[in-house]
Amino acid sequence: MNESTPIVRFAVSCPVCRREVTVEYRAADVAGALLNHRPIRLHTPCHDASWTAGYVETQQIRAHLEAVQLGSPREARSAASEDGTED
């Protein structure tokens, strides 16, 4: 991934060893999959394991992505201008 491509990082549990590993994906790919109800393929490097995110994992990724987006400066400015708190 190049430096200008927005990425999202989140933790997944390896299905082989159950170790929690932080993975990163292009934010556009993850958001697009969530918005269009497409499966999200996950991968852990520790055992080179790949699988399709289940319902619980998908909901956790969705919540994480929403939290990251709400915490972004652009989102904060937009929310402030909507409620009249921005100059």
Both tokens assigned to 8:
């999202």
Average pLDDT over residues 30-34: 95
- On whether the CB atoms of residues 20 and 42 are closer than 8 A, the answer is no
Query: Among residues of the chain, what percentage have pLDDT more than 70?
Result: 76
In this prediction, residues 25-51 reach a mean pLDDT of 95
Average pLDDT over residues 7-29: 93
Using alpha carbons only, what angle is made at residue 30 by residues 25 and 5, rounded to the nearest 5 degrees? 50
- pTM, two decimal places: 0.69
> pLDDT band at 21, cuts 50/70/90?
very high
Mean pLDDT for 49-75 is 83
Mean pLDDT rounded to a whole number for the chain: 82
